[in-house]
Amino acid sequence: MHSSTDHSAGSDPVSAAISDQSRLAWQAEGARFNAFGKALRRRHGGRVQRVSIDAGFTCPNVDGAVTTGGCNFCDNRSFSPSRRIRLQRVADQLTEQIGRVQKRYSDVRGYIAYFQPATNTYAPIDQLREIFDLALNSDDRIVGLAVGTRPDCVPDSVLDLLQELAVDHDVSLEFGMQTVHDESLAWMNRAHTHADMINAIDRARDRGFECCSHIILGVPREDHAMMMESAVEIGRLGFDAIKLHNLYSVRGTPLGEEVLAGKVEMMRREDYVRTVVDFLERVPPEVIVERVSGDAPPNYLIEPKWCADKQNIRREIEAEFERRDSRQGDRYVPPEVKPSDRPRPADATPESIRNRIDTRGRLPVLKMQ
Ligand code: SF4
């Protein structure tokens, strides 16, 4: 396992070569953390881009299966049960987005269909199979799926389906974990607890698809030590990947209202940069870092304005690693129980979600052809 003492290869060529072999690819390349773009290139032998799909799902945190109103930072009007937005067919969305990416990059080798808005496992299993198959088969260049969801919305049947699809495709399941602290989850109106996250990852791990955790840094009343507890949990639970987001507020959300009223303050840029580095130093070196900050379109973003400057935030994070001469994983302490030894628990998807999935039938808003 990588530690803070194994950065320097031995001074003679043989030990240098051995040390290089024992390093992870990103370490051997001299990077400071295990960045997603390069990890995808290594996996697929060339550039792979994600293309975002809105398949018309809603969310149990919006339609009343667990609560209503949604998370305080989420603009869920776009996928409320009474959605007014006309959805394009999934295949058309893929074609359009691939065309857009092609104009930007000439060397794309493959695409991953990213089911992004709402809770993308919140539908009967036959409908999920149909829509995931449709995305995978709509274009020869689609090499995989990424599926965003909540920890309390992954019945074993969904995990079995993703496991099956992962035999021939690059599949990632993205969980909104956000934090380990239940009081923060309550503040966000997540309507699930960290115990739900533990149950979900203990059932989802080691099935051949990637498990990714979304984390929010800068939640009010979470101090530095509390955020570091979330960092330690990434290794303890055995996630394969993470996405880090600064808390930000957008128009039309309860959080946006509170920020405009001066009741909630967002994290300062320099504090965020330092916190991300502190966080990544505690995350296992194998974990892929898919994002280091979050942002929103300028006309929609309220605070903090600095998060729109994404490229420079990333540069500042890299510069902070350089300044410390540290890397991802330097302060990682492996847990006493290896994630792979944690027992697989019983399915704990809440009854209310299960009933809603089983009784409502097909989602009327999904456009399947
Ligand atoms: S669980 Fe996800 S989709 Fe649902 S309201 Fe929260 S952030 Fe939005």
User: pLDDT (tens digit, 9 = 90+) per residue, 12-44?
Assistant: 554 544 455 678 999 999 999 999 999 999 999
Evaluate whether residue 132 is within a structural domain: yes
User: pLDDT (tens digit, 9 = 90+) per residue, 250-301?
Assistant: 999 999 999 999 999 999 999 999 999 999 999 999 999 999 999 999 899 9
**Residue 62 Cα: closest atom of ligand 1:** 5
Pocket test residue of 52, 76, 214 for ligand 1, highest count of atoms within 8 A of CB: 76
Evaluate whether residue 159 is within a structural domain: yes
CB of 66 closer than 6 angstroms to any ligand 1 atom: no
- Counted domains in the chain: 1
CB of 62 closer than 6 angstroms to any ligand 1 atom: yes
CB of 70 closer than 6 angstroms to any ligand 1 atom: yes
Evaluate whether residue 166 is within a structural domain: yes
Evaluate whether residue 71 is within a structural domain: yes
User: pLDDT (tens digit, 9 = 90+) per residue, 122-146?
Assistant: 999 999 999 999 999 999 999 999 9
pTM exceeds 0.85 for this model: yes
CA 122 to ligand 1 center in whole angstroms: 12
CA 272 to ligand 1 center in whole angstroms: 23
Evaluate whether residue 4 is within a structural domain: no
CA 76 to ligand 1 center in whole angstroms: 7
Core vs surface per residue 116-132: b (16+ CB within 10 A) or e: bbbbbbbbbeebbbebb
Evaluate whether residue 308 is within a structural domain: yes
The CATH number of the domain where 156 resides is what?
Answer: 3.20.20.70
Cα–Cα distances in angstroms (integers) from residue 194 to residues 151, 290, 332, 354, in the given order: 9, 22, 21, 19
CA 189 to ligand 1 center in whole angstroms: 9
* Residue with CA closest to ligand 1 atom 6: 71
245 close to 178: Cβ distance less than 8 angstroms? no
Domain extent at residue 284: 26-350
CB of 150 closer than 6 angstroms to any ligand 1 atom: yes
First-to-last CA distance in the chain? Answer: 47
Evaluate whether residue 148 is within a structural domain: yes
Evaluate whether residue 11 is within a structural domain: no
